[in-house]
Amino acid sequence: MNFTLTQRLRIAGVLIAFGLLIEAGTLLWNSPIGFLVFLGIGGLFIACGILIYLLTLISAPAEHSASSVLASKKSVVISS
Amino acid sequence: MPVRLTYAVLIITIVVIAIVVLAPGVTASRGGKSLAFVALFIFPILAVALGYQHHMDRSRETSFCLSCHLMEPYGRSLHVDDATWIPASHYQNNRVPRDEACYTCHSDYVMYGGIKAKWRGLHHVYAQYMQDPKPPLHLYHPYNNRECLHCHLGARSFEEGTTHNADSAIMADIKSNKMSCLTSGCHDQVHNTTKLTEVKYWEER
């Protein structure tokens, strides 16, 4: 599946926000299970979100340059 | 670490993430890119670190340990009205902080002892749900005198105790852990969960 840069940022943001909400819930839960949910579920969502964001950062320049090359080719074709 | 600070960071992070998610156009500018980096990388890591610290602090609390059903009799043993019951007398006389009673006696006073205690705690959770342990529970290793001597070493009651000095070898054996404080017949009334129906209880005022 191809996502645009904006979509990837949105997915990352939603995952992180969801993970943070889980974290906020576990802070009210004084139990070992609360800690496991914090780390295992909340942490997983946040880690996935951060990973997607970092991958977006890495891939963004390449995508940007590719699209600009494509745009310049189109302009060449139009002008000719 | 106050929990309010953690909540404040969580709320700020979610608000900043909402800005990036709902108005992704802001990331087109240099300032917007910085905002996205803070919202999607710096703040979440900070929030997780604060939350983790909060959970670690709370895992020392007596109420945290007693939140497992299996620990309920051990919590009750802290209220036995009998000074010979070591955990009860320590708890009731504030020889250990009441809100961290379990952690104070059951963490190793060595380098990384706190981390080991928390690791054991995770193993307890695993055992609780995967191995169905039955009371009475047993320690993974014999109780080390080092944990008692962390507080009692140098104390007059310990250093000048009649029994401790009855023989010159006794004190050396206690200090070198050759003679156990708990299992050598001297201070052997510990949690004794099988006798909890036969004892009187102290009522905290």
The interface predicted TM-score of the complex, written ipTM, equals: 0.77
Q: Do B54 and A6 touch (CB under 8 A)?
A: no
Q: Do B21 and A26 touch (CB under 8 A)?
A: no
CA dihedral over B178, B182, B183, B185, signed as positive or negative: positive
Write out the two tokens for A2: 């191809």
Q: Do B41 and A54 touch (CB under 8 A)?
A: yes
Query: What does the alpha-carbon distance between residue B94 and residue B104 come to, in Å, rounded to a whole number?
Result: 12
Low-confidence ranges of chain B (pLDDT < 70): 1
Query: What does the alpha-carbon distance between residue B101 and residue B93 come to, in Å, rounded to a whole number?
Result: 11
How confident is the model over B77-134, as pLDDT tens digits?
999 999 999 999 999 999 999 999 999 999 888 888 888 888 888 888 888 888 888 8
For chain B, domain boundaries: 3-58, 62-137
Q: Read off the DSSP letter of residue B23.
A: -
Q: Is the pLDDT of residue A19 over 80?
A: yes
- How many CB contacts within 8 angstroms connect chain A with chain B? 86
Q: What pLDDT does A46 receive? A: 97
* Residue A78: inside a domain: no
Q: Do B40 and A19 touch (CB under 8 A)?
A: no
Q: Is the pLDDT of residue A62 over 80?
A: no
Please state the domain count of chain A: 1
- For residues A53-77, average pLDDT: 63
Compute the nearest-CA separation of B30 from chain A (Å). Answer: 14
pLDDT-derived band at A79 (thresholds 50, 70, 90) equals low
The angle subtended at Cα B2 by Cα B59 and Cα B45, nearest 5°, is 80
Query: What does the alpha-carbon distance between residue B46 and residue A42 come to, in Å, rounded to a whole number?
Result: 14
Compute the nearest-CA separation of B124 from chain A (Å). Answer: 9
Q: Is the pLDDT of residue A2 over 80?
A: no
* Residue A38: inside a domain: yes
Q: What pLDDT does A80 receive? A: 52
Judge contact between B191 and B74, C-beta under 8 A. Answer: yes
Q: What pLDDT does B111 receive? A: 85
The pTM of the full predicted model, rounded to 2 decimals, is: 0.80
* Residue A77: inside a domain: no
Residues in A touching B55 (Cβ below 8 Å) = 26-27, 34-35, 38
Q: Do B68 and A32 touch (CB under 8 A)?
A: yes
Q: What pLDDT does B151 receive? A: 95
Q: CB-CB: which of B18, B44, B54 is closest to A46? A: B44
Q: What pLDDT does A66 receive? A: 47
